[in-house]
Amino acid sequence: MREPVGQPGRRVTLNDVAAEAGVSRALASIVMRGAPGASDTTRERVQAVARGLGYRPDSRARLLRSSRTRLLGVTFTLAESFHGEVVEAVYAATENAGLEVALSAVSPQRPESRAVESLLDLGVEALLMISPSTGAEALAAYAQRLPVVTLLSPAPVVGTDQVRTDDAAGVRAAVEHLVELGHREIVHVDGGGAVSAQERSTAYREAMTARGLARHIRVLRGGAGEEDGLRAAAELMGGTLPDAVVVFNDRSALGVLEALRRAGISVPGDVSLTGFDDSQLSRLSHVQLTTVSQQAPLLAESAVAGAAARLENREPGGLVHPPRLIVRATTGPVRTDPATGPAISRS
């Protein structure tokens, strides 16, 4: 198998293709990017030559010259596995939208500002920031220079488009799922000061009220981590056990699950449990957590479409998405005989 490139150092340029095909560089350019202005016969000929020579356009040159770089800058946090899922979906979505992706990671050692700057230096045409940590002012400043779409952003910022999950709908779905299963005493372990903790907690109250369970409303202080769940579960087991627990997120739910099981309480035999995020954790075979999925593909698709819309001076739409309840093995019918209660039964 011979390499198409003859010389090791030399790279095949558009000039080479044009010369070989006997046309001008400009025409070759037209053909390569599928622009109108070339006959079908030459189009085919040039393409054949390009293929034969193993030509690949140099994106640096392309980006430099054209104002429409079709390059979408994406910032994400390495440690967040959900960001990974979104990025994956962004790649897929950009393919259809005819955009290219430039990734820039955020980490404790690499602030978001640096990530954004490197993208701007690369000449991205729009910015897609996943869970931005940048302050509203700085974000607004970016938005003045180019379209900015945020995903999982804590708060709205003028000039940016916000793609997000309908948190309330997610919590509502979880509560209703539990009610359908016959549960009445449904407790909420909240997210403490975490992002969107407020929204989810409010949604819990509303969903309970809507189902006529207002008198069963009970919110425990939780948090975003596993330890918060462990702590909340300890508090929970201090009094009488509820039918079910709706937890702020998966990590915390994992803590609750562990504490309950360690105390000999069966999940879902005695208590049902739901999380939020559909993280890797929730899929572990001994966990199988029922949870609310922020549908990464949907969010990504929508964010990319939003950026594309802005680039064409259109108004993007459909930026809030309903999540999906993933029913696994931590929710089940309410226990039928309260007398044999939680203290005795074993998983």
Minimum CB separation from its own copies for residue 225, in Å? Answer: 8
Q: Which residues pair with 208 in a beta bridge?
A: none
- Looking at the Cβ atoms of 5 and 319, the one nearer to its own copies is 5
Interaction with its own copies in 277-306: which residues (CB under 8 A)? 284-286
Q: For residues 228 and 42, what is the distance between their CA atoms, to the nearest angstrom? A: 67
> Of 6, 26, 117, 264, which one interacts with DNA (CB under 7 A)?
26
Minimum CB separation from its own copies for residue 153, in Å? Answer: 21
- Looking at the Cβ atoms of 4 and 22, the one nearer to DNA is 22
Q: Checking phi first, is residue 318 left (phi over 0); if not, alpha (psi -120 to 50) or beta? A: left
User: Which H or E run includes 20?
Assistant: helix 14-21
Q: For residues 243 and 139, what is the distance between their CA atoms, to the nearest angstrom? A: 44
Which one of 3-11, 33-41, 172-180, 319-327 is the stretch in contact with its own copies (CB under 8 A)?
Answer: 3-11
Q: Find tokens 């790279």 and name the residue.
A: 11
Which tokens sit at 37?
């202005």
Minimum CB separation from DNA for residue 119, in Å? Answer: 15
Q: For residues 282 and 76, what is the distance between their CA atoms, to the nearest angstrom? A: 22
Q: Are 123 and 111 in contact (CB under 8 A)?
A: no
Asked if 235 interacts with its own copies (CB under 8 A), we say no
Helix ranges (H only) for 192-249 are: 197-210, 226-238
> Of 38, 230, 254, 271, which one interacts with DNA (CB under 7 A)?
38
- Looking at the Cβ atoms of 20 and 228, the one nearer to its own copies is 228
Q: Which residues bind its own copies (CB under 8 A)?
A: 1, 3, 5, 8, 56-61, 63-64, 78-79, 81, 84-85, 87-88, 91-92, 100, 102-105, 107-110, 117-118, 120-123, 137, 141, 144-145, 226-227, 230, 254-255, 258-259, 262, 284-286, 347
